[in-house]
Each structure stands twice: as structure tokens, then as C-alpha cells.
Amino acid sequence: MLLETGFPSLWVAGEISNFKRYDSGHCYFSLKDANAQVRCVMFRGRAALLDFAPREGLQVEVRAVVSLYEARGDFQLTIEAMRMAGQGALFERFEALKKQLASEGLFASERKQALPHFPRAIGIVTSPAAAALRDVLSTLARRMPNIPVILYPTAVQGADAPAQIVRAIGLAAARQEVDTLIVCRGGGSLEDLWSFNEEIVARAIAACPIPTVSGVGHETDFTIADFVADVRAPTPTAAAELVSPNRHELLGRLAQLKQRQARVMQYHLQQHMQKLDQISRRLVHPGQRLVQQKRDVSQKSRQLQQQFHFILSRQQQNMARLSLRLAHLKPETISARQALHQRQQRLQRSMWQGLERQQHRLQQAQLQLAPWDPQQVLARGYALVTRPSGDLVRLATDVRAGEMLNVRFSDETIAVEVRQGIQQQTELGL
């Protein structure tokens, strides 16, 4: 108890030795350096929080409290947290660079570029041997296989990786052959991902004119590249899903739009068909119109003749009355008789001329109507085909074999029987 209360929680660095994990989940090992070693225990609850697997020979840093294993009287360290050696300094560098770049506005949302909905080509900055590349390519092939993919190869781990990543991003920006760029690699320790925490990589991503997606590590991993990129994806696979439209969703949407268009077209077609039916009901057959016009002409001709005879009769009556008056007045002078005779002749000529003009107009009207006379059409060699019911047969495709029809010529109507129709010819290959 004195050991546990007498020493505060402290950080100890060393190499793991004699590591054992029991079925209970508790871990027992020794932590050693060149001069000494100490027994350690890490209980199941704390061990479950580790993001890596401890193993023999691994250099680690542990936060521990001093304790005593009373059953054997052994001095030991009870481990509360463990991290890879050197992560403390790396984390401090990470936080310092993050604070610096944030103060410069490189993380500001207003400088972020929107990803295109339908990219013409997608670029990938990663290692050709990385498993992340296979995940990205398989995801893009599944979602939208027709989008071209261009790889800008680079190392993603090691001392040369940051410079190579910067060159790959610069190459993509210079070529301008893609409109979306994925910078990605798979998961790993803080040291494995450190290339994406370097300042030169962060500034290259921030200066890239192409919308950039960072997909580095697993969902719980964060790098400086995530903050400066236009979009951060939790995994490389998620990055591929962010930059590519879903082909199946688009096809489904297209099918919905196609069905909607078909419904709209069907609706408008029905509307126009109804309007056409209404108009067709108001239309009059040319034959019926011709018969009606012929009746109107005949009626007007009779009216003109009656009117002419009425006017002529009344003029004759007027002349008779004038003659009687003249007879009573006894205008026996030759000049008066001649003038009366001349007026009589002029009147008669005027009446006959008027009659001739009316007859001429009547003849002209009859000549204009003659081509529309059904009898004249039949006289030119045409025939009128009807069913026994009187319905007019307009199309040959309406006739069936064995059907009785009436054929009217200019002089007579005969009954005929159809031996073979158009449809039977089609079926026989004629």
C-alpha cells in the first residue's frame, strides 16, 4: 500500500520481454532496457483499449503506477496506458503543426472546394503496392466503371515518402487530366502514417487546384492531410465512394424518370386523343357537304326563277296600266308612241339580260359543283364500296374473306363476295 500511495503515476520507456496474454485477457510481461528490467501487468480492461498488439521486443512507453504482488512479494508496475515508443514526441509535433496551419487558415471551410458530382476522371496518389489502392479501384469499378482512373505512384511510408507525395500531387495539378484527386493509404501506427503529417505534404494538398479527398488510415486515424484536404474520408474505400456516383442509384433514378416521362406522355396523348375525338365529331363528310350545297343551289335557283317571273309579271302589269292610261289620254302623237315603244324594248332587253346573267351565274355554280357530284366521280371510273348495312368501306384492311359487299358504279350497283382479304395475304406471305 505504501508503494502505491508513495509514487505518482509515471511514464516508463523500455522493451517488452517475456510477453504473455492469458485467456482472461490480462497481459503479463517485463519492461527492460540495457541496465534493468521490471515486471509489469496490464489488466483486461486497459489492454482492450490498445490500438496495436503488444509483442516481444517492441519498444513502448507506458503510464503505470507502482504496486506489490502480495502473493509473491514481488515489486511490479500496473500499466494504465501504453503507446509505441516515440509517439509522445510525434504527437507534440503533430499538435504544433496543426496549430500553426490552422492559424494560417489552411483548415478554413471557406477555402474548401466542392467535389464534382460526375467527375470525368479520378486521380489516386498512393503506392502501387498498397492494399488501399486495390480497395479504391474495386470500389470505383463497382460504383461507376466507366470513369477513367489515373494513378500517380508514390511511396507512402519512409524518409523519402513526403517528397514523393508532394511530387505526385504537383504532377496531377500540372497535367490537369483529372478533376478529383484521392490521397490515400491503409492503416498503421502513428509512425507509419507520419508522412501525411509532414508540413510539405500539407501545403501541397492545400495548394492543389484539384478538389482533394484524404483517405489515410482507419476511421479512428487523423492526419494533418485530413484537415487541409477539401474532404476527409474515414478510409480509402470511403474516399472512393465520396468521389464516384453510384451507378446503380443513377440507373434506378433514370428508371424512375423514364416511368414518370411515360406517364406524362400517356396523359398528354390521352388529352390529345380526346380533343381529336371532339373535333372529328364536329367534322362533316365532304360527300354530305356536297349534297347539302347542291340542294342549296337548287333551292336558290328556284327562288331566282320565281323572283324573276314575279318581277316580269309585275312589270307587264305596270305596262298594261300605263297603256290603259295612255289610251285614255289619247296620246296619238307619233313621237310619244315611238318613245313608249323604245322604252318597252329597252325594258324587255334589260329583263332578258338580267335573266341571262342569272342563268349564267347558275350555270357557273353548277359547273363548280359538278366535280363534287358523286355521280360524276363514279362516271370517271371510280366505284363506291359499302356493306349491306350501308356503311362505307374506306380501307382494304377493313375487309374480311367471305364478306358480302355492294359495289356501286355510275349506272348500277352489284353485290360481290370477298374471296381473300389483305390480312390473309399477309399471313400467306404474299
- Reported as a single tens digit per residue, the pLDDT across 7-60 is 777 888 888 889 999 999 999 999 998 888 999 999 999 998 887 788 888 888
- Please tell me the distance from the alpha carbon of residue 306 to that of residue 105, in angstroms, as a whole number: 107
392 and 298 in a common domain: no
Task: Identify whether 251 is part of a domain.
Answer: no
227 and 134 in a common domain: yes
Task: Identify whether 306 is part of a domain.
Answer: yes
Residue environment code for 241-256, b if the CB has 16+ CB neighbours within 10 A, otherwise e: bbbbeeeeeeeeeeee
388 and 348 in a common domain: no
Domain final position from 39, 69, 85: 85
List pLDDT tens digits, range 70-86.
Answer: 767 678 999 998 887 76
Task: Identify whether 256 is part of a domain.
Answer: no
List pLDDT tens digits, range 162-193.
Answer: 999 999 999 999 999 999 999 999 887 777 88
Phi then psi for residue 6, to 5 deg, are -85, -20
Task: Identify whether 37 is part of a domain.
Answer: yes
- Please tell me the distance from the alpha carbon of residue 183 to that of residue 165, in angstroms, as a whole number: 9
In this prediction, residue 89 carries a pLDDT of 67
Task: Identify whether 220 is part of a domain.
Answer: yes
Name the least confident of 17-26, 233-242, 421-430.
Answer: 421-430
Domain count, the chain: 4
Cell 524518409, residue located: 159
Domain final position from 372, 402, 418: 372
**What is the pTM (predicted TM-score) of this model?**
0.48
DSSP code string of 53-77: ---TT-EEEEEEEEEEETTTTEEEE
Write the CA distances from 146 to 47, 114, 120, 140, 363, integer angstroms.
Answer: 46, 22, 9, 9, 79
List pLDDT tens digits, range 363-409.
Answer: 787 777 766 667 777 777 788 889 888 888 888 888 888 888 898 88
Domain final position from 37, 68, 85: 85
Task: Identify whether 273 is part of a domain.
Answer: no
400 and 335 in a common domain: no
Domain CATH code at residue 66: 2.40.50.140
Position 429 confidence tier, pLDDT thresholds 50, 70, 90: very low
User: Any idea what DSSP says for residue 396?
Assistant: G
Name the least confident of 151-165, 219-233, 352-366, 400-414.
Answer: 352-366
In this prediction, residue 3 carries a pLDDT of 62
97 and 29 in a common domain: no
336 and 217 in a common domain: no
The two most distant CA atoms of the chain are separated, in Å, by: 181
Task: Identify whether 392 is part of a domain.
Answer: yes
Q: Are 201 and 253 in contact (CB under 8 A)?
A: no
212 and 159 in a common domain: yes
133 and 209 in a common domain: yes
24 and 61 in a common domain: yes
Cβ count near 31 (within 10 Å): 23
423 and 367 in a common domain: no
Domain CATH code at residue 123: 3.40.50.261
In this prediction, residue 289 carries a pLDDT of 74
382 and 352 in a common domain: no
94 and 75 in a common domain: no
Task: Identify whether 258 is part of a domain.
Answer: no
Residue 129 domain boundaries: 89-245
